[in-house]
Copies of this chain bind each other. A is one copy, B any other.
Amino acid sequence: MSRPREFDMDAALEGAMDIFWRQGFAATNLPDLLTAMGLTRGSFYKAFTDKETAYLKALDFYDQAVVSTTVETLASCKTDTASACLAQLFAPSPEPRRGCFICNAMVELAPVNHRVAVKANRMSRRLRGAIEARILQHRPAADPDWSAAAADMILHLYFGHQAMGKSEDLPGGWPGKLANLLGETAARP
């Protein structure tokens, strides 16, 4: 029916994700957002109704694009140990100081926006599930309580790492640290 939209929805969402991820919700104004999405006001408001809706769709896009990739990477890596695989979560990002969109959203908006909180929590759980699956893959006989707690800890470490990484360069050594945490190495002194 009638005139089709000219812009590419995925490209626009990727642009929105990018700018919100980097700048947050409140610090991103409409001109910034429109430039990042490659849209003018007219098309933007026709397709997204308002800035909050665009943010929520950007979160969904992150889920589908970034979180899914991470989950698949964790599921398919060919390392001998769980720690070596999970250490990827702590590898330096190609773009520094950007952190993780989930973490940014949790800190900036989740307390005052329930829909953001729900989406952030759902993505957190996806990550946690992928982490736990990876742990169980290497220790199929592990106590379920222990593997759940370990996955929880690593998810906490991940978000802490993302938060601190927005403020300074962090030291590496994560394969070893995670190996200790997961009991892959001998007991400490």
Q: For the complex formed, measure the closest distance between the CB of A33 and the CB atoms of chain B, giving whole angstroms.
A: 14
A189 near B117 (CB under 8 angstroms)? no
Which residue of B110, B142, B177, B183 contacts A166 across the interface (Cβ within 8 Å)? Answer: B110
Q: Chain A contact residues (Cβ within 8 angstroms of B): what range?
A: 35 or more
- Among A24, A160, A161, max chain B CB count under 10 A is at A160
The reply on A180 being an interface residue by CB < 8 A is: yes
Q: Are A167 and B120 in contact (CB under 8 A)?
A: yes
Of the listed residues A153, A163, A173, A188, the one surrounded by the most CB atoms of chain B closer than 10 A to its CB is A163
Whether A164 lies near B156 (C-beta < 8 A) is yes
- The answer to the question of A27 belonging to the interface, with a C-beta cut-off of 8 Å to chain B, is yes
- B166–A161 contact, CB under 8 A? no
Instruction: Select one of B104, B106, B108, B157 contacting A156, CB under 8 A.
Output: B157
Is A141 an interface residue when CB atoms closer than 8 A count as contact?
A: yes
B110 touches A167 (CB 8 A): yes
Question: Within the assembled complex, what's the spacing in Å between the Cα atoms of A23 and B110?
Answer: 11
Q: Are A108 and B106 in contact (CB under 8 A)?
A: no
CA distance A117 to B168 in the complex (A): 7
CB of A73 closer than 8 Å to a CB of B: no
Stretch from A8-16, A41-49, A95-103 that touches the partner: A95-103
Is there contact, CB below 8 Å, between B168 and A121?
A: yes
User: Residue on B with the closest CB to A110?
Assistant: B167
Q: How far is the CA of A142 from the CA of B187 in the complex (A)?
A: 12
Q: Give Cα distance in the complex from A162 to B107, angstroms.
A: 9
21 A-B residue contacts at CB 8 Å?
Answer: A22-B111, A23-B112, A24-B26, A26-B27, A99-B107, A106-B163, A107-B107, A107-B108, A110-B166, A121-B167, A124-B167, A139-B189, A142-B189, A153-B181, A155-B160, A156-B156, A157-B157, A157-B160, A159-B160, A159-B163, A183-B188
